[in-house]
Amino acid sequence: MRMRGGAIAGVFVLLLPIFFASLFSHASPTILKDLNAPKFRHSRLAKSALLRQTSNEEQSELWTPLAHQGWKPCTESDGASTVPEKSEGYVQVFLDGGLNQQRMGICDAVVVAKILNATLVIPQLEVNPVWQDSSSFMDIFDVDHFINVLKDDVSIVKELPDEFSWSTREYYGTAIRPTRIKTAPVHASANWYLENVSPVLQSYGIAAIAPFSHRLTFDNMPKYLQHLRCKVNFQALAFVPHVRHLGDALINRLRNPPSEGNMVSNNYLREVTDLKPKQGAGKFAVLHLRFDKDMAAHSACDFGGGKAENLALAKYRQVIWGGRVINSQFTDEELRSQGRCPLTPEEVGLLLAALGFDNSTRLYLASHKVYGGERRISALRNLFPLMEDKKSLASSEERALIKGKASLLAAVDYYVGMHSDIFVSASPGNMHNAMVGHRTYNNMKTIRPNMALLGQLFLNKTLTWPEFQESVVEGHKNRQGQIRLRKPKQSLYTYPAPDCMCQA
């Protein structure tokens, strides 16, 4: 009875905003503006989800690790993976984007240096225009580990010798320079670099390639170069010690929450009382809730915030992308049925509940900033009261070294995600691609939402909870970390088999 009472109270909290919105339907414009917060769009499903029950058998199946799939990591070096006796010169790259886009660029930069028999200068990371993060390679990654792991494959230096000290980002930004290559096509072949960059190295002893993101093909590459890419991504790129230490602390607190009597502060894990021990005890899932303002605006979908929100997002699209991203010609229903709308926190919560996660699940939220803030997260929190993040699990002193650093914040989330029992990415993106690939490489359970299916289900307002749950479970049977072989033009960082893996 106590459990049912708690569930009913949860339903009351969930429906409270809808009740008050109706109560003040004739209120003043100011009050209406305050009430024009994101509303719960799937209250019928949410009410049923709060009352859900899962058996021990269902929980056991949910948390059971993936069975061996007949593949194993495979990045062995061969005869071609040796450092040349004489370097042809120095290669520089300047990488933009967020952490995971930069990560892929670093891997490609190592391979380009290998192709050219050149010495790679530790890549320079551009200041991210969105997050304004000036973190360098050495702020994020363990540079000595990076160089040591690759010492038999590529010559790498932390900085240029004095005679090339003039070769800076600022130098290339002021005029056309013969040592800068800015014409590298997207997905350029190895031969393109030999034909276009080698002559620059021979003439000047240095070549700076910018822009560089996505400037190396995934297809028709020698096997040893593909293996080198894999070696960089899965072995050489390790985070700096303080990121790993903080990540280990968060993981320990997720797996071993303190009892109520031993809680140090309100920042530590809360307990849900009156719950019998579950099969998932000691385990946790990581959710990457990719629902920031950029994502919402770019999609041109309706997220329930009314006309004011839709107008604000349309204006944001114009300001940020200057007409390069136009308002969609499709209706919201068409976009959703095509799986082109990011999942809201509410929708992610319903997905997880349908898959069998219950209110005893320890859920770690890996997100920089959620559009709509706590108003939107509250629906997810009602379903998963043990939801935590960096701020709730660690003190401000522990987080001091990563505060305000988007790349380091993302690095901690990546590290925790790689050590979770289950990882769920709410919507596709660079973090999704990197984590799916890395966890596939290690044969770890990773749930990829079926966006088109979910869009269609959420459009059906007459769907009952059993019908919704059955469709969700059936539609995600083969989306939990099963090996998918890379197809032409696809990234090996997302699909590591067969380039980075061998059949056991």
On whether residue 46 sits in a domain, the answer given is no
Domain shared by 490 and 344, yes or no: yes
Domain shared by 427 and 294, yes or no: yes
Q: What is the DSSP letter of 322?
A: T
On whether residue 107 sits in a domain, the answer given is yes
- pLDDT tens per residue, range 394-433: 999 999 999 999 999 999 999 999 999 999 998 888 899 9
From residue 340, give the alpha-carbon distance in Å to each of 40, 303, 330, 367, 449.
20, 13, 10, 20, 12
From residue 81, give the alpha-carbon distance in Å to each of 78, 87, 110.
6, 14, 12
Domain shared by 64 and 112, yes or no: no
Residue 2 banded pLDDT, cuts 50, 70, 90: very low
Q: Residue with structure tokens 């593949």?
A: 71
Where a domain ends, among 201, 236, 271?
236
Average pLDDT, the chain: 87
| pTM of the model as a whole | 0.87
* Domain range enclosing 365: 58-68+240-256+282-503
- pLDDT tens per residue, range 316-352: 988 888 777 777 788 999 999 999 999 999 999 999 9
Residue 81: its pLDDT value, please?
Answer: 66
Helix or strand holding residue 246 (H, E)? helix 241-255
Strand partners, 441: none
On whether residue 139 sits in a domain, the answer given is yes
On whether residue 402 sits in a domain, the answer given is yes
264 backbone dihedrals φ, ψ, rounded to 5°: -75, -40
Domain shared by 199 and 251, yes or no: no
On whether residue 168 sits in a domain, the answer given is yes
Residue 133 banded pLDDT, cuts 50, 70, 90: confident
**Buried residues in 175-204 as b, exposed as e (16+ CB within 10 A):** eeeebbbeebeeebebebbeebbbebbeeb
Domain shared by 206 and 300, yes or no: no
Domain shared by 308 and 414, yes or no: yes
Identify which has the larger pLDDT, 196 or 329: 196
On whether residue 80 sits in a domain, the answer given is no
Residue 488 banded pLDDT, cuts 50, 70, 90: very high
490 backbone dihedrals φ, ψ, rounded to 5°: -80, 155
Domain shared by 447 and 371, yes or no: yes
| Of residues 89, 353, 336, the one with CA closest to residue 205 | 89
Domain shared by 207 and 248, yes or no: no
DSSP strand pairing (119-121 vs 156-157): parallel
| Structure token pair of residue 383 | 């379903």
**What is the Cβ-side half-sphere exposure of residue 384, based on CA atoms within 13 angstroms?**
27
Domain shared by 244 and 359, yes or no: yes
Residue 266: its pLDDT value, please?
Answer: 43
DSSP strand pairing (501-503 vs 71-73): antiparallel
From residue 393, give the alpha-carbon distance in Å to each of 247, 307, 414.
10, 37, 16
Distance CA 4, CA 70 (A): 45
Q: Is the pLDDT of residue 222 over 70?
A: yes
Domain shared by 383 and 447, yes or no: yes
| Structure token pair of residue 265 | 């502060």
Rg (CA), the chain: 25
| Of residues 441, 276, 426, the one with CA closest to residue 363 | 426
Mean pLDDT across 255-273: 52
Identify which has the larger pLDDT, 211 or 10: 211
Instruction: Count up the domains in the chain and report the number.
Output: 2
The mean-pLDDT minimum among 36-50, 80-94, 123-137 falls in 36-50
On whether residue 420 sits in a domain, the answer given is yes
DSSP 157-219: ESS--GGGTT--HHHHHSS--TTEE--PPTT--HHHHHHHTHHHHHHHSEEEE-S-TT-S-SS
Residue 329: its pLDDT value, please?
Answer: 84
Q: Is the link from the previous residue into 211 a cis peptide, with omega within 30 of 0?
A: yes
Mean pLDDT across 49-62: 91
Domain shared by 212 and 251, yes or no: no
On whether residue 357 sits in a domain, the answer given is yes
Domain shared by 386 and 436, yes or no: yes
Q: Is the pLDDT of residue 3 over 70?
A: no
For residue 176, the one-letter residue type is I
Contact in structure between 265 and 280 (CB atoms under 8 Å): no
Distance CA 274, CA 268 (A): 19
